[in-house]
Amino acid sequence: MIRTVSTTPYTDQKPGTSGLRKKVKVFQQPNYAENFVQSVFDVVAEKAGATLVIGGDGRFLNREVIQVAIRMAAANGFGRVIVGRGGILSTPAASHMIRKRGAIGGLVLSASHNPGGPDEDFGIKYNIANGGPAPEGVTDAINARTLEIDRWLTVDADDIDLDTDGEVMVGAMPVEVVDPVEDYAALMETLFDFDAIRAAKLTMAFDAMSAVTGPYATEILERRLGFAPGTVRNGEPLPDFGGHHPDPNLVHAHELYETMMAPDAPNFGAASDGDGDRNLIIGKHRFVTPSDSLAMLAANAHLAPGYAGGLKGIARSMPTSAAADRVAEALGIPAYETPTGWKFFGNLLDAGMATICGEESAGTGSDHVREKDGLWAVLLWLNILAVRGESVDAIARDHWAKFGRNYYARHDYEGVETPRADALMAALRASLATLPGQQYNDLTVETADEFAYTDPTDGSISRNQGVRILFAGGSRVVFRLSGTGTTGATLRVYLERYEPVGGDLDRDTGEMLASIVAAAESIAGIGQHTGRNAPDVVT
Ligand code: VG1
Ligand code: CO
């Protein structure tokens, strides 16, 4: 029954910040997806008889790769596969499913915030038994395996019906097709006060960006919380996301932004990304940066039942603003600074060292799963709004008055020729020692280094995680290259300026960051290296 198919390695299957992401056409090469899936299975030591969760964000190729992966799982000796109906599982729902069902891990088929469709992106990510993204040790082992693979295993079986709940056999292995929303929605009901949210009679707009959160948001927001029909926009997951770029930022979710800035805006606006792990938060007439959202959620989390006992710690990725650190300090709990990517939070969450984590890229989450979770952040905000009875704008102003304000923006230069981006980073690294003490208008460089992280739970070290230039007074600029793109290189420039309590707390972000933008240009020579005089995306 088990068939061995011989193959040869591809040399470009190194997972990035969040799994393997490539153009669909790359995945359509013979054996390409199979090689990667088999490499994953080859490094999962105790797969015999174990349960594997499979689901994806519904993008082009999702169903095809799921059918292939199910047959391969059967051939590789897994005991059971659980798959979301329609091939759908948001990333946080997959994380919860792995934990709830005691699975050994899961395949999450998504390229997250990257566009989908025949000419766009696809991706495969492996999550481990704690429900979180495979840590670097595991992704390195998978990559090593992709470079020597010479066969993959499958069984001869028909495609299963992905659209009907229930159990079918594939070879000797049962496959269970389950409701992708039910368990996740039930988990949310344990964390948040749905009655209080319902009673607050708030109005909201949620943009699912034709991606995976549509069914989740419709069930939770409209059916269980009673928000008006139509609250969820673009609620049907489409293989090409309706041609949109499912990245919830001010550029790609500009319609939501316009709704929220209109005179008759609802109380609360939010959007999520391709696979449902990101969130964009916009209150009526008030955009909240993801870094601020993390800080405000942490400061108010005790108002929701799931966090009434307080937080153990707060973790943020290095490029995320230090706003959350000030909250941790006020709460008397530890603050952790990790490299970019959710895989670095898993150990802190498992060890009970952190309860809430976040990234500047619109990712926030907690120890309820081991992934960032877009709808979780939306529900925590709603719970806070319901309890405080104040607007997002009022809560933000109150927060800044107490903690000061970290003005923040990220400038992305996309599709830069890789050698040029590498040259920029190399020159920057070479100049680090000469930067301390240098003046750029009103800014003086205090320290300049390349971020390295030592995991406090297992001592593993991750180097080369971004160049950071810290100025006197708490302002800084961070440079790093994206690890999720599929075309050329994306340079990310993270800009932050701290304005203390009693300072200028109500100014325009662009104005407040202008001198740091100028310093970033002088320090890194962005124009000269990339040939660009402005970023493609400002968030
Ligand atoms: C980006 C973000 C990072 C996030 C990652 C995955 O990575 O910066 O914060 O964890 O995407 O998010 P990079 O290497 O491109 O900067 V998701 O929602 O695309 O899984
Ligand atoms: Co995502």
Helix H or strand E encompassing 227: none
Distance between CA 133 and CA 18 in Å, rounded? 7
Ligand 1 within 6 A of 414 CB? no
Question: Cα of 340 to ligand 1 centre, how many Å?
Answer: 7
CA distance to 382, 519, 520, per residue, from 511 (Å): 31, 14, 15
Considering only CA atoms, which residue is closest to atom 4 of ligand 1? 341
Ligand 1 within 6 A of 145 CB? no
Which residues, chain by chain, have CB under 5 Å from ion ligand 2? 112, 273, 275, 277
pLDDT given for residue 1 in this prediction = 85
Question: Cα of 207 to ligand 2 centre, how many Å?
Answer: 15
Whether the Cβ atoms of residue 295 and residue 403 lie closer than 8 Å to each other: yes
Question: Cα of 263 to ligand 2 centre, how many Å?
Answer: 31
Residue 501 pLDDT exceeds 90:
yes
Provide the whole-model pTM. Answer: 0.97
User: Tens digit of pLDDT for each residue in 261-299?
Assistant: 999 999 999 999 999 999 999 999 999 999 999 999 999
CA distance to 313, 343, 451, 494, per residue, from 462 (Å): 21, 12, 9, 20
Which residues on neighbouring strands pair with residue 282, listed in sequence order?
A: 269, 287
Catalytic annotation present for 112: yes
Ligand 1 within 6 A of 154 CB? no
**Residue ranges per domain, the chain?**
2-179, 184-403, 405-538
Residue 451 pLDDT exceeds 90:
yes
ipTM of this complex prediction, to 2 decimal places: 0.98
User: Tens digit of pLDDT for each residue in 346-388?
Assistant: 999 999 999 999 999 999 999 999 999 999 999 999 999 999 9
Ligand 1 within 6 A of 340 CB? yes
User: Tens digit of pLDDT for each residue in 210-237?
Assistant: 999 999 999 999 999 999 999 999 999 9
pLDDT given for residue 392 in this prediction = 98
Helix H or strand E encompassing 270: strand 268-271
Considering only CA atoms, which residue is closest to atom 16 of ligand 1? 482
pLDDT given for residue 446 in this prediction = 98
Quote the tokens at residue 36. Answer: 């990667």
The hierarchical CATH code for the domain 405-538 is 3.30.310.50
Whether the Cβ atoms of residue 283 and residue 391 lie closer than 8 Å to each other: yes
2-179 and 184-403 share one CATH topology?
A: yes
Question: Cα of 73 to ligand 2 centre, how many Å?
Answer: 25
Ligand 1 within 6 A of 482 CB? yes
User: Tens digit of pLDDT for each residue in 241-265?
Assistant: 999 899 999 999 999 999 999 999 9
Ligand 1 within 6 A of 18 CB? yes
Architecture of the domain defined by 184-403: 3-Layer(aba) Sandwich (3.40)
Instruction: Estimate the share of the chain in helix, then strand, then coil, as percent rounded to the nearest 5.
Output: 35, 25, 40
User: Tens digit of pLDDT for each residue in 104-138?
Assistant: 999 999 999 999 999 999 999 999 999 999 999 99
Residue 402 identity: K
User: Tens digit of pLDDT for each residue in 320-354?
Assistant: 999 999 999 999 999 999 999 999 999 999 999 99
Biggest distance spanned by C-alpha atoms of the chain:
73
Ligand 1 within 6 A of 106 CB? no
The hierarchical CATH code for the domain 2-179 is 3.40.120.10
**What is the rounded average pLDDT of the residues 8-25?**
97
Report the residue among 17, 425, 480 best suited for mutation to probe ligand 1: largest number of ligand atoms under 8 A from its CB: 17
Considering only CA atoms, which residue is closest to atom 8 of ligand 1? 361
Report the residue among 361, 369, 491 best suited for mutation to probe ligand 1: largest number of ligand atoms under 8 A from its CB: 361
Ligand 1 within 6 A of 121 CB? no
Q: Which of 112, 272, 366, 475 is catalytic?
A: 112
User: Tens digit of pLDDT for each residue in 149-197?
Assistant: 999 999 999 999 999 999 999 999 999 999 999 999 999 999 999 999 9
| Ligand 1 atom closest to residue 273's alpha carbon, by position in its atom list | 18
Residue 463 pLDDT exceeds 90:
yes
Ligand 1 within 6 A of 486 CB? no
Quote the tokens at residue 537. Answer: 């995306």
Distance between CA 511 and CA 536 in Å, rounded? 19
Percent residues over pLDDT 70 in the chain: 100
* Mean pLDDT value across the chain: 97
Percent residues over pLDDT 90 in the chain: 99
Question: Cα of 228 to ligand 1 centre, how many Å?
Answer: 32
